[in-house]
A and B are shown apart, each in its own frame.
Chain A
């Protein structure tokens, strides 16, 4: 079945440093989505990428979808304490199947220290 891996599993940064999490799928994806889950909270939708090579920005966050539509990344510039949480990518199966539900990545837990 479809698998979605993320690295790193954990990341500690000093406030103001940059942060990147990488997402890799075992299969080609129709689209990829990113979610943020604050400690004790539930996942909240951030963005969806559909096109090969697509890049989208939300303030300090930059999202990329790979040319082969099998990988993605989230980059945060100048982290703040409000960025603390776990970031999940989630892929929707493409040509090789996966159905109509998202397969979530393993997540990257970000901690930001002052």
Chain B
């Protein structure tokens, strides 16, 4: 597609429920990144993919967080047993390849855990 697409744009969930966030990167971009941004804060790295592999998962906050990427395209970030501290904007970005050029970000998914 022309840009990075994320869905849903907003998600309100009850504490303890599981959520899935989706990212559709720019066609041809082999690298895909997930970041998290709390209100008024900076960007916290979560995980990145090169193709379908995740060479760096170091930013995932706990084992409740997981992500996968299939077909070198769409990625899903799953948060199990959500907690209130998971509330944030989850941003996905893609680039031609890892360490190549700037990132194009999607509009993000605003997750609110109540």
Least distance between A38 CB and chain B CB atoms (Å): 12
CB of B55 within 8 A of chain A? Answer: yes
CB of B98 within 8 A of chain A? Answer: yes
Contact in complex: B45, A101 (CB < 8 Å): yes
Contact in complex: A45, B35 (CB < 8 Å): no
CB of B102 within 8 A of chain A? Answer: yes
Least distance between A58 CB and chain B CB atoms (Å): 13
Least distance between B77 CB and chain A CB atoms (Å): 15
Contact in complex: B48, A105 (CB < 8 Å): no
Contact in complex: B105, A44 (CB < 8 Å): yes
Interface size class of A (residues with CB under 8 A): 20 to 34
* Cα distance, A92 to B50, chains bound together (Å): 16
Contact in complex: A48, B101 (CB < 8 Å): yes
User: Which residues in A have their C-beta under 8 angstroms from that of B25?
Assistant: none
User: Which residues in B have their C-beta under 8 angstroms from that of A88?
Assistant: 42-43
Count of A-B residue pairs with CB < 8 Å: 52
Q: Chain A residue with minimal CB distance to B50?
A: A100
> Given B42, B56, B91, B99, which contacts A42 in the complex, CB threshold below 8 Å?
B91
* Cα distance, A35 to B56, chains bound together (Å): 22
* Cα distance, A103 to B35, chains bound together (Å): 10
Contact in complex: A101, B56 (CB < 8 Å): yes
User: Which residues in B have their C-beta under 8 angstroms from that of A100?
Assistant: 31, 48, 50, 55-56, 98-99
Contact in complex: B50, A102 (CB < 8 Å): no
* Cα distance, A30 to B105, chains bound together (Å): 21
User: Which residues in A have their C-beta under 8 angstroms from that of B43?
Assistant: 43, 88, 90, 104
Q: Which residue numbers of A lie inside 8 Å of B, CB to CB?
A: 30, 33, 35, 41-45, 47-48, 88, 90, 92, 99-107
What are 6 of the A-B contact pairs (CB < 8 Å)? A41-B107, A42-B105, A48-B102, A100-B55, A100-B98, A104-B43
Given contact pairs A33-B103, A100-B48, A104-B42, enumerate 14 new A-B contacts (beta carbons under 8 Å). Answer: A42-B106, A43-B43, A43-B93, A43-B103, A45-B102, A45-B104, A88-B42, A100-B98, A100-B99, A101-B33, A101-B45, A103-B45, A104-B35, A105-B42
